Amino acid sequence: MTNLLVNIDHVATLRNARRELMPDPVHAAMACESAGADGVVFHLRQDRRHITDRDVRLLKEVVHGRLDFELSTNPEIIAFCCEICPDVATLVPENRQEVTTEGGLNVRDNISRLSTVVAELKSAGIEQVSLFVDPELYQIEAAIETGANTIELHTGDFANAVGHDAQIFEVKKLVQSAELAHELGLNVHAGHGFNLTNYPIFRDTVPHVKEVSIGFAIIARSVFVGLHVAVQEMLDVIKHSD
Ligand code: PXP
């Protein structure tokens, strides 16, 4: 069964837009779990533009399900992640100018640095250390060399594909990547750009996906239907074929 972890960064973005105390991403995390989500994801950025250190400490206390800490290879953030010891640490590229994470890590060209970081995170007791990668076979082969035990497939190109042929082209890359990762013994996670419309084709085509991370579509929809319903609608689609 594929787990749904809800990314609550956008709740923090809204809070910070008015330098207010609400909406609180910690409350959002609790609401997501009470609606049935299997856990929560957040990205602690170096510039703290949405999630803050205070949020992370409280999330660690209140989240009962799985907690996925997305981070760059910045030493200060790595040390904080080791202290928090989430269930999953997902390494992502980070660029100050970007609106959201724009693509996967270039694992092949950074094996040495990533191996050091993966070892540090594992030695802090973090059970799953994941690399966010584009669906390219050479990146998945490189992921194994770093000692990571999990990959998160970047699904942004699939989500942005316009038209049936383009969608099929992108989903095939995800299928091949998921198959290779599974053969190599890696856990397969996926995320970026999923919504109620595009998820079914991914669900019905891409094998071995243990966990998906979904943020924007759920939080945006919650403006109209509330967070509880928005999470449940996505869960219905995710668990549909299980
Ligand atoms: N996975 C990663 C690594 C991400 O950076 C993001 C975006 O914060 C997501 C998943 C979720 O993407 P979305 O908000 O488009 O659902």
User: Distance (Å, rounded) from C-alpha 122 to C-alpha 82?
Assistant: 9
**Bond from prior residue into 23 cis (ω within 30 degrees of 0):** yes
Question: Domain spans of the chain?
Answer: 3-238
Closest atom of ligand 1 to CA, residue 70: 3
Closest atom of ligand 1 to CA, residue 90: 3
Q: What is the pLDDT along the chain (242 residues), one digit of tens a residue?
A: 999 999 999 999 999 999 899 999 999 999 999 999 999 999 999 999 999 999 999 999 999 999 999 999 999 999 999 999 999 999 999 877 777 777 999 999 999 999 999 999 999 999 999 999 999 999 999 999 999 999 999 999 999 999 999 999 999 999 999 999 999 999 999 999 999 999 999 999 999 999 999 999 999 999 999 999 999 999 999 998 65
Going by their DSSP bridges, the two strands 3-7 and 209-214 should be labelled as parallel
Ligand 1, CB within 6 Å, residue ranges: 7, 9, 43, 70, 90, 92, 100-101, 132, 152, 191-194, 213-217
| Residue 164 CB coordination number (10 Å) | 9
CATH entry, 3-238, from 3.20.20.70, 3.40.50.2300, 3.40.50.620, 1.10.357.10: 3.20.20.70
32, 213, 219, best to mutate for ligand 1 pocket (most atoms within 8 Å of CB):
213
Catalytic residues: 43, 70, 192
Closest atom of ligand 1 to CA, residue 132: 3
> Given CA atoms 126, 127, 132, 137 in this order, what sign does their dihedral have?
positive
Q: If you measure from the C-alpha of residue 193 to the centroid of ligand 1, how many angstroms do you get, rounded to a whole number?
A: 7
Give the predicted TM-score (pTM) of the model.
0.97
User: Distance (Å, rounded) from C-alpha 48 to C-alpha 179?
Assistant: 36
